[in-house]
Amino acid sequence: MRPAAQVRARIASGALALFLTLIMASCGNDETGDQVQATSPPDFTWPTGPHPRALFHVENRGVILLELYPELAPETVDNFIELARSGFYDGTTFHRVLPGFMIQGGDPNSRDRDPSNDGDGGPGYTVPDEFSPAPHRRGTVSMANTGRPNSAGSQFFIVQGDALHLDGRHTVFGRVAAGIEVADGIATTETDLHGRWGKPNRPLEDIVIKRIEILGPKEAPAHSAPAELNFKPSPSQIGPEPPQLFPGFA
């Protein structure tokens, strides 16, 4: 065989080998994907009751009933119950809404007429993180934080669409037992998407929590003294972050 022909034969042989390698790699990726899916964690089983419950009376919207789980987050549940019974949440709003992701509330600043400070407030102290295997699936109730450890206070959010990227980053302490359609309605409210008049994703219409009523059992877990709030949270960090490339988030 002439030298030129030998070169062409070697090139053709190399191209064929590369082609076969790419095919095998593609098959291997599919297999890997199946393995990842097969090793996904099993469905979480929520603790059985009886449990304390929280009934949200939302102005002009209806009611949302939450079941709270002291087994998963005793200090968080105790703190939420104490704040609710003291009237801390009365008149606050759902100040941050991202449809398909979550609705957020619990900030005392949302009572005033200044939309620029919504999302910055809290009770003046923090509560510790209490992570558990409970997943951030639709209807889950979890604590907002600043992205720093043990930085939750009073702000919470109701997950409207599965958000498993938040697992291990926010404390799950309850889930919606009834009224998820009310939360869905809140999630469709028109918002100030880009923050022209306040914080981004704030509803243009105030969605007011008239009060949160705590319904038995009467016993609640003992409340320990919270850590002092020793830093000023950055407004841009407060609250759960949506998944990367979340539609409609800016």
Which tens digits make up the pLDDT trace of 202-229? 999 999 999 999 998 654 443 333 333 2
Dist. CA 162–CA 182, nearest whole Å: 17
Of 70-74, 182-186, 220-224, 238-242, the poorest mean pLDDT is in 220-224
Q: Does residue 95 have an active-site annotation?
A: no
The residue count for the chain: 250
Q: Does residue 35 have an active-site annotation?
A: no
Q: Does residue 101 have an active-site annotation?
A: yes
Residue 6: its pLDDT value, please?
A: 53
Residue 46: its pLDDT value, please?
A: 94
For Cα atoms 214, 220, 225, give the angle at the middle one, nearest 5 degrees. 110
Residue 42: its pLDDT value, please?
A: 57
pLDDT range class, residue 24, cuts 50, 70, 90: very low
pTM of the entire predicted model: 0.74
- Asked whether 100 and 160 are in contact (CB, 8 A), the reply is yes
Q: Does residue 166 have an active-site annotation?
A: yes
Active-site annotation holder among 95, 170, 175, 202: 170
pLDDT range class, residue 243, cuts 50, 70, 90: low
Dist. CA 130–CA 173, nearest whole Å: 9
